[in-house]
Amino acid sequence: MTAPAQIELRHVTHAYRTAAGPLPVLDDLSMTIAHNGFCAVVGPSGCGKSTLTRLVAGLMRPDAGDVVLSGHPVTSPRANVGMAFQNPVLLEWRTILDNVLLPLEIVANRMDKAERRDRAMSLLSLVGLEGFENKRPSELSGGMRQRASLCRALVHRPEVLVLDEPFGALDAFTREDLWQIMHELRAEEAFTCLLITHDLREAVFLADQVIVFSGRPAHAQYVQEVDLPKERTLEDLYSPTASDMLHELRHQISVAQGRDGPGNAGKGAVV
């Protein structure tokens, strides 16, 4: 098993080429996620958050600047990344177990068939999907599909887990269940996590560090270290510390959206 990586972005600038000319999405973005850290990125819609996930996964290269994993520049896709999206993209023709096993069919590994199965089954039971391994994705609820998608992202023990709004399409209570499951996964598995989200409570509940992106083209506008105990319950979200953090983050989002000046925290941000 490899150690979780440190993710570093150094002065990353990127623009998409469109018919109407270049569309800059990232502008001199620098950020660092520690070994085994959990970083949530929040920001206005269309500010380049998904571009960040594709850069970290090595699916594309920035126009300028470097993406560095544990000291090695990322230039192409590497097997040490696991991804999950808002759409769970499970393969409908495979059972849940076979879906989770998919990365092990691609990534070189020394596990034999029984070991692969054991690995997948232990993850499935960790997320509460024991007994559903032979079902098809169409037989599962949205929350269960997303849990299976998380298992697939982790089955090959990636150093980096990239989550692009994985809980965005779920109802509020299912979402909270999955937050708890993320904490349980983090307690059992070692990975450095980059989470893209629109939900500030989710960011504070899950992450060690929340980064607010500015509007497009994005840079890291504000960094919030989350001083909550590592073992968290939903109750912690109602503590004064959490309330203050959420308030400040909400204010920073308004600033990023260009709706509020930088110094107006606590004076009722316009939503």
Partner 1 sequence: MPAMRQIGVPVMAIVLFLAFWEWLVWINGWPNYKMASPSDIWPAFWQYRGLFLLYGWETLWRTVAGLALAVVVGTGLGMIMGFSRIVRDGLYPILVGFNAVPKATVVPIIALMFVGQHDMNTILIAFLISFFPIAVSVSIGLSTLEPEYRDILRSLGASRFTIFRKIALPKTLPEFFGALKVAVTLAFIGTNLMEIVEPHGKGLGHLFDSGKINSDYPLMFAVLIALAFLGIVLYYIVVFLERTFAGWAERAET
* Contacts with partner 1, residue ranges (CB under 8 A): 54, 57-59, 76-79, 81-83, 85, 87, 89, 91-93, 102-103, 105-107, 136, 138-139, 152, 156, 162
Give the span between the Cα atoms of 141 and 153, in whole angstroms.
19
In the bound complex, what is the minimum distance in angstroms from residue 110's beta carbon to partner 1?
16
Least separation, in Å, of the C-beta of 130 and partner 1?
A: 22
Separation of alpha carbons 189 and 168, rounded Å: 23
Nearest Cα to 80, choosing from 153, 147, 188, 150? 153
Which CB sits closer to partner 1, 137 or 217? 137
Nearer to partner 1, 62 or 215 (CB): 62
Q: What's the closest the beta carbon of residue 212 comes to partner 1, in angstroms?
A: 25
Q: Among residues 93 and 173, whose Cβ is nearest to partner 1?
A: 93
- Report, in angstroms and rounded to the nearest whole number, the Rg of the chain calculated over CA atoms: 19
Instruction: Choose between 133 and 260: whose C-beta lies nearer to partner 1.
Output: 133
HEC-encoded secondary structure of 11-80: EEEEEEEECCEEEEEEEEEEEEECCCCEEEEECCCCCCHHHHHHHHCCCCCCCEEEEEECCEECCCCCCC
Q: How far is the CB of 42 from partner 1 (least distance, A)?
A: 21
Q: DSSP readout, 188-225?
A: HS--EEEEE-S-HHHHHHH-SEEEEEPSSSB-EEEEEE
Q: Which is nearer to partner 1, 165 or 260 (CB)?
A: 165
Q: Residue 36 CB, nearest distance to partner 1 (Å)? A: 20
Q: Distance between CA atoms of 167 and 162, rounded to whole angstroms? A: 13
Q: Which of residues 57 and 245 has its CB atom nearest to partner 1 in the complex?
A: 57
CB of 60 to partner 1, least distance (A): 10
**Going by DSSP bridges, is the β-strand pair 81-85/160-164 parallel, antiparallel, or unpaired?**
parallel
